Chain A
Amino acid sequence: MTDLPTTHVNLKGVLTSSAPTADHSEGMSYLQSVPRRLVTLYLPLSIIVFVLLFPFYWMALTAVKPDAQLLDMDTYSPFWTWNPTFKHFYKLLFESHYPMWLWNTMYVAVCATFLSIVASVLAAYAIVRLRYRGANLVGGLIFLAYLVPPSILFIPLATVVFQYGLFDSPLALILTYPTILIPFSTWLLMGYFKTIPFELEECALIDGASRWQILIKIVLPLAIPGLISAFIFCFTLCWNEFIYALTFLQSVQNKTVPVAIVNEFVDGDVYRWGSLMAGALAGSLPLVILYAFFVEHYVSAMTGAVKE
């Protein structure tokens, strides 16, 4: 798989269009009249953006609506509420295991991300820079590992987890998530390591630095943007992961946010929509905030697989 197309994509330019060199979209837009642009550009764009963002509006609105208004669509307009309530959030935070679930998710995500990044840094450095015998083959195999989906692996993994006595413990997730994260972040970091000039390393080698010192003192500081990208992407994937968490965890207080919310807020036929939506909103917020701060890194991480 080393013959992946090396399409050099200017990722920073995608979101921060202010960089003049990166953005060619000025193009010939001046050739178009305003009414024409209104129909061919703004109208379809606003429809798509509306559809993409509406579920979040609906989630947020439901989360603050009083129960009575939720289920009475005749007397109250469903699209707005004049008496927002934080009752659902209060219940979520103080009358459920929600803080516990949030803590579990965070704990698992941080540990799995940390383990994966350490492993990926070492692997990517070895593949790109040490170029030992078979490095290309191993690089290809790691890419193939990315194509193995969790929905094929969860059954045998469940038996493995059970055999090792890890069932219903966060450790099961911390150890299995890296299999999803390592292929991606290795691939991403390989791209970053390739951009670091080889001469820097040669100089250090001549000065008597060991490979380990080179990695820690020269390569890593220069690859920080790549590390941030890898970190964010790994963290997001962990937060998003569902099928392993659903299969390997059983007790209510051990669950992660996605699994817990799906299972714990439905009492038989009674859906507690307010709490459900408040939980979904509160579970998404950490990621959205992280994303807001690191948009650029996020996009480069996302398209990282394409880039290399």
Chain B
Amino acid sequence: MADIALTPAKSQIREATSWDQLKHNRNWLGFWFMVPAMAFLILFLAYPLGLGIWLSFTDTKIGRVGQFIGYENYEWLWDDGVFWLSVFNTLLYTFLASAIKFGIGLYLALLLNENMPFKAMLRAAVLIPFIVPTVLSALAFWWIFDSQFSIISWSLKQMGLITQNINFLGDTTWARICVIFANIWRGVPFVAITLLAGLQTVSPSLYEAATLDGASRWQMFRHITYPLLTPIIAVVMTFSVLFTFTDFQLIWAMTRGGPVNATHLMATLSYQRAIIGGQLGEGAAIASAMIPFLLAAIMISWFGLQRRKWQQGENND
């Protein structure tokens, strides 16, 4: 807008040269300002994304350029039990972890929203699992879930609840429970603090009015808190589902997909096949197979939660 005001004054002085055009034309300026960011994103994100899909149609191996082989990688995967197991694990992991993260996160947010001493300190402390690098906290869990020296086994034995050590990461069911637990542990602070930020915007007068009308605590949550929080919940859960679905580091640091592939996610399986196994093409096919699931997951969590808002006839503010 300011540009428009400026141009007539300038043109009276001298004709705008093409250099001036480059310097002052908003579209060109915008272009120059975008160059660094776009260069990174095109070279190291858009191009690899396309290349990855292309690789999934080739038989590339490490150290050998591949040839186009059509759908062959996908056909192999279709008959590959381990691949389907990893799909199942990924869905189970994403669904359980996200749902529980949401439940506990919301509960924790409601608790932290109460008035109590040392509130600020408590809120800051709760976030720490989110800040510490995932791999390093995964190592702590690795140690906590150690087959021989697990503190959990020890405590349960002291209480007389079990006689044998639980083989946490060596048993398929336990291993799944453990990695899901660790993921929840890491994700709850993010959900809780973000929802807490949302809760703070809800006006207390709404609750006061509801109390006067004789609403119960549950009714207040159901008809005031939850509807007002929906937009934030939609965003938080979309991110949560997205990052849980594509999780790699937690699994790799704790179990590397074992025991007997019981905790292999699609991301870890694609790493194992592509980088350790050297089958870049096949690994790329597994990674590309994540894309439709990912789109579906984003759509469901995003639109599923957004729809509620449209139904209530609110506008997007």
Contact = CB atoms under 8 A, between A and B. Distances in A.
Given A120-B37, A262-B135, A299 B52 contact: no
B200 A13 contact: yes
Contact of A305 (B36, B139, B239, B280): B239
Contacts, number: 345
A119 B34 CA distance: 8
A126 B30 CA distance: 5
Contact of B37 (A16, A119, A159, A298): A119
B161 interface: no
Contact of B33 (A25, A125, A151, A302): A125
A44 B107 contact: yes
Interface in A1-59: 3-11, 13-18, 22-29, 31, 37, 41-42, 44-45, 48-49, 51-53, 55-56, 58-59
B34 A145 contact: no
B136 A258 contact: yes
Contacts of A197: none
A183 B200 CA distance: 27
Contacts of B47: 160
Given A155-B280, A302-B193, A306-B236, A9 B231 contact: no
Interface string A270-308: 010100110111011001100110010011001101100
A39 B99 CA distance: 25
Contacts of B116: 41-42
B258 interface: no
Contact of B141 (A55, A257, A292): A55
Contacts of A87: none
Interface string A201-230: 110011000110000000000000000000
Contacts of A28: 207-208, 211
Interface of A: 3-11, 13-18, 22-29, 31, 37, 41-42, 44-45, 48-49, 51-53, 55-56, 58-59, 62, 70-71, 73, 78-79, 115-116, 118-120, 122-123, 125-127, 130-133, 135, 138, 142, 145, 147-160, 175-176, 178-179, 182-183, 186, 201-202, 205-206, 210-211, 236, 239-240, 242-243, 246-247, 257-259, 261-262, 271, 273, 276-277, 279-281, 283-284, 287-288, 291-292, 295, 298-299, 302-303, 305-306
Interface of B: 1-3, 5-6, 23, 26-31, 33-38, 40-41, 44-49, 51-52, 55, 60, 104, 107-108, 111-116, 119-120, 122-137, 139-141, 143-144, 146, 149, 151, 154, 185, 188-190, 193-194, 196-198, 200-204, 207-208, 211, 231-232, 234-236, 239, 242-243, 245-249, 252-253, 267, 270-271, 274-275, 280, 283-284, 287-288, 290-291, 294, 298, 309, 316-317
